Structure 1
Amino acid sequence: MARPRPLSGFPEWLPEGRLVERHVLDVLRRTFELHGFAEIETRAVEPLDQLLRKGETSKEVYVLRRLQADPDAVDKDPLGLHFDLTVPFARYVLENAGHLHFPFRRYQIQKVWRGERPQDGRFREFTQADIDVVGADTLGYHDEVEIPLVIADAFAALREIGVPPVQILVNNRRVVEGFARGIGLEDVDAVLRAVDKLDKIGPAKVAQLLVDEAGASPQQAQACLDLAAVRGQDESVVERVRELAEGLGATNDLLETGLTELGTLMAEAARRAPGVVVADLKIARGLDYYTGSVYETVLVGHEGLGSICSGGRYDTLATDGARTYPGVGLSVGVTRLVSRLLSGGLVRATRSVPSAVLVAVTDEEHRGQALEVAAALRARGVPTEVAPTAARFGKQIQHADRRGIPYVWFSTPDGDEVKDIRSGVQVSADRAAWTPPEADLHPRVVPADAG
């Protein structure tokens, strides 16, 4: 068989990397459940027409087709792999609305597939972890306040293993739209598309885009840039925007509603997660389809990676014509985050295998005795494996060392002994009572520079 070549964009972690990924997932799952979110899982495929509703994703969708399908047959119900978890969740809400209690709090951790060009932090197969609150016809603004604070709690817990701090950047569609209309610009989506390019092309080129594509005058373009420059960690940003709007005669009810909402979010964030949630009025991505708050999250010191967690509010997450289901949520790009943790050498696992003990085999005739020891240790929750061969004890210790197993168990005529191969200390042990220290019982994920 020829040596296989890796597939670009389909990451496969080594065991240590998988331990890191699993720890991240466990922290997210635990945090979500502490906040009352219930877990769901949806199918991997959706009808193709549903996946293509947004249009711009059509080139990214993987279409399913049977290998032996009749090439001349017309597929009446073509299917595709989902490229995010929003489309399947919206469909899930509609199909199960009669069985759900609203507002429904959901989290979902699954793989998704997207046929884009792989690069740093971007993959064709990756894991997302989503949380959403969805209501029936109405959804309170307090849910828009809560969602980023849940994520702030999750990343605060991840700091313990060496994950860098995050900043959750927030904006509000009503603020931007109210301001744009207040200064006389009606093509709000064109304004958003232009402002979204600020970091890539700079203010001068964005100003020209506003003139060319949004119909702005130079003065209106400058006003949009002034709004985009507003940034802060508390509700003081509200007064800065209000002063800017009043100076331009651009105040209106929509702007005031947005500022009130943004101020509520920032006041609560400053109290519960100071310095983590930042109002950034240049955040425009997603505001063309989100209807309220929008969120983007960056790793401090790794901003070039892009957003590792983004989302916002949909006033029409789903609708069946009779009822509308508004929702607000955030999606963590787990694979993007883990890839940076591993490639950047930011975290590590204390060992790559679950085993805490290797039971040495004196000779093959006594392997059964070693198996009995292993069974006794496992019965008390100690991850244990038995040496693969009855080699010299020195070689069995080397085998344990290569695998990262900290303890080797020996059964001798004088009784059982266990050796910590890191320190060389060997002591008598009772298979019915001995347990390794808590820190050695299972692999742990720690900062890369931890001792």
Structure 2
Amino acid sequence: MARPTPLSGFPEWLPDGRLVEQHVLDVLRRTFELHGFAGIETRAVEPLDQLLRKGETSKEVYVLRRLQEDAGAEPDRAGTLGLHFDLTVPFARYVLENAGHLAFPFRRYQIQKVWRGERPQDGRFREFVQADIDVVGAGALPYHYEVELPLVMAEALGALREIGVPPVRILVNNRKVAEGFYRGLGLTDVDAVLRNIDKLDKIGADAVAALLVEEAGADQAQARACLELASISGSDETVVARVRDLAVTSNELLDEGLEELGALLRAAAARAPGVVVADLKIARGLDYYTGSVYETVLVGHEQLGSICSGGRYDTLASDGANTYPGVGLSIGVSRLVSRLIGGGLVTTTRSVPSAVLVAVSTEEARDRSDAVAATLRARGIPVEVAPSAAKFGKQIRHADRRGIPFVWFVGEDGADQVKDIRSGEQVDADAATWAPAEADLWPRVVPA
């Protein structure tokens, strides 16, 4: 059989990389639960008509079908299933289906794989893990949740600093500020303005200005004003004053957005100083965002793009009679982990869980080694037994290749002994009482 060729865009980590990913997921899960978010998991597929109701993602959806379809069956978009490309659409459907069983505001976290048929590149995959948090209300959701959620994410990502994850910057904006400002200029096609402002980092200010004239109906002065708004950034409330100075006219929507943005910056300055920064060019392309929007970058790795994004939405989950507004953020876990591994930012103390290899003197005496291993495992110590009764030197080399720090020798007539193969120290040991140092008990993820 020929050696298989890896599939581009479908990451498979080696054991030490998987340890990094598991550590990241454990930290995120623990932080989310500390803040009262309940974990859920949704199915991998959704009806295609639901996945494509916005229309712009049709090229990215993987369609699910049987290899052998029923003879004569007509294609039915409503009945066709597609793999979900994010966790937001499945969550909206989950809320609608289970609203009668949920207590609102409902706080949820969800960590799952998603699938997206885009071109693989640095940090972008076709199959990847996301970690989402959302708070959803029934009929209404107070603004303070738009302040709380980015600060929860700041705490979760900050908890990863101890393993070598770079600091993060959470860039925030408010759609009400943008829309109120654009309407004050006399622009009515707000979606077109937002769509083109969102391209600033990719194509530059001159190209965006031309698009604002061509596609959003702006004149040159209006286009310049939109770009001036997008250039405003800062981590304190002077941002609010600068927008007011720039605005041609004030209106209720702009005032409301600036009040909300100021509240977020005040809270962030107190609870996560230097982490949250207002950046008024953040537009977020998805048109269901209605309030705060967020993007998060790793400091020093900005070229990777946002590793965590989201915002406020008011109409994503609605059955016509009831609306469930919410706010949420999503971490691209695979994007983050790929940079940690590929950039050599973190390492592991070993790639296997085993702290001890129990040596086997003869195959006839293997049961004695198995008994020692069972005693150690019962006390919470990860152990494996040597694969063969080779010479002890060979068994020690086997442990060394696997990164196992201790080798246990079962005594023939006297006491058992355990050897730290890193230092060469060998001491008498009893399986009922001996334990490795805490740092050696399980593999750890540490800064490289």
Which TM-score band (shorter chain)? over 0.9
Q: 1:196 aligns with which of 191, 195, 198?
A: 198
Q: Is 1:80–2:82 an aligned residue pair?
A: yes
Q: Which residue of 2 aligns with 1:273?
A: 272
**Residues in 2 aligned to 1:429 and 1:435: alpha-carbon distance in whole angstroms:** 9
Percent identical: 78
Q: Which residue of 2 aligns with 1:185?
A: 187
Residues 288, 320 of structure 1: alpha-carbon distance in 2 compared, 3 angstrom cutoff = closer
Q: Is 1:15–2:19 an aligned residue pair?
A: no
Q: Which residue of 2 aligns with 1:375?
A: 374
**Residues in 1 aligned to 2:190 and 2:106: alpha-carbon distance in whole angstroms:** 31
Q: Which residue of 2 aligns with 1:401?
A: 400
CA shift at 1:220, angstroms? 1.1
Higher mean C-alpha displacement, 217-226 vs 307-316: 217-226
Q: 2:168 aligns with which of 166, 178, 193?
A: 166
Q: Which residue of 2 aligns with 1:442?
A: 442
Report the AA paired with residue 271 of structure 1.
A
Alignment of 1:394-433 (within 5 A): 394-412=393-411, 413-433=413-433
Report the AA paired with residue 440 of structure 1.
D
CA shift at 1:287, angstroms? 6.1
CA shift at 1:72, angstroms? 2.4
**Residues in 1 aligned to 2:166 and 2:72: alpha-carbon distance in whole angstroms:** 54
Q: 2:116 aligns with which of 96, 102, 114?
A: 114
Alignment of 1:106-145 (within 5 A): 106-145=108-147
Unaligned 5+ segments in structure 1 are none
Q: 2:221 aligns with which of 198, 219, 222?
A: 219
CA shift at 1:100, angstroms? 0.3
Higher mean C-alpha displacement, 287-296 vs 41-50: 287-296
CA shift at 1:167, angstroms? 0.5
Q: Is 1:364–2:366 an aligned residue pair?
A: no
Partners of 2:358 and 2:372 within 8 A in 1:
yes
Higher mean C-alpha displacement, 229-238 vs 127-136: 229-238
SS at 2:209 equivalent: helix
Report the AA paired with residue 179 of structure 1.
F
1:51-90 deviation line (CA, Å, top 9, x unaligned) = 1111111111111111122252125511111111111101
SS at 1:6 equivalent: coil
**Residues in 1 aligned to 2:7 and 2:346: alpha-carbon distance in whole angstroms:** 25
Unaligned 5+ segments in structure 2 are none
1:390-439 deviation line (CA, Å, top 9, x unaligned) = 11111111000000000000112321111111111111111100010000
Higher mean C-alpha displacement, 229-238 vs 69-78: 69-78
Q: Which residue of 2 aligns with 1:64?
A: 64
CA RMSD of the aligned region, Å? Answer: 1.0
SS at 1:319 equivalent: coil
1:126-153 deviation line (CA, Å, top 9, x unaligned) = 1100000000010000000001000000
**Residues in 2 aligned to 1:367 and 1:405: alpha-carbon distance in whole angstroms:** 19
Partners of 2:198 and 2:285 within 8 A in 1:
no
CA shift at 1:2, angstroms? 2.3
SS at 1:26 equivalent: helix
**Residues in 2 aligned to 1:121 and 1:393: alpha-carbon distance in whole angstroms:** 45
1:172-231 deviation line (CA, Å, top 9, x unaligned) = 000000000111111111111221121122212222221222121211111111111110
**Residues in 2 aligned to 1:135 and 1:23: alpha-carbon distance in whole angstroms:** 31
SS at 1:291 equivalent: strand
Report the AA paired with residue 156 of structure 1.
G
SS at 2:69 equivalent: coil
**Residues in 1 aligned to 2:340 and 2:72: alpha-carbon distance in whole angstroms:** 48
**Residues in 2 aligned to 1:299 and 1:284: alpha-carbon distance in whole angstroms:** 19
| TM-score, normalised relative to structure 1 | 0.97
SS at 2:169 equivalent: strand
**Residues in 1 aligned to 2:71 and 2:306: alpha-carbon distance in whole angstroms:** 41
Higher mean C-alpha displacement, 234-243 vs 365-374: 234-243
**Residues in 1 aligned to 2:212 and 2:398: alpha-carbon distance in whole angstroms:** 66
SS at 2:192 equivalent: helix
Q: Which residue of 1 aligns with 2:261?
A: 262
**Residues in 2 aligned to 1:387 and 1:19: alpha-carbon distance in whole angstroms:** 23
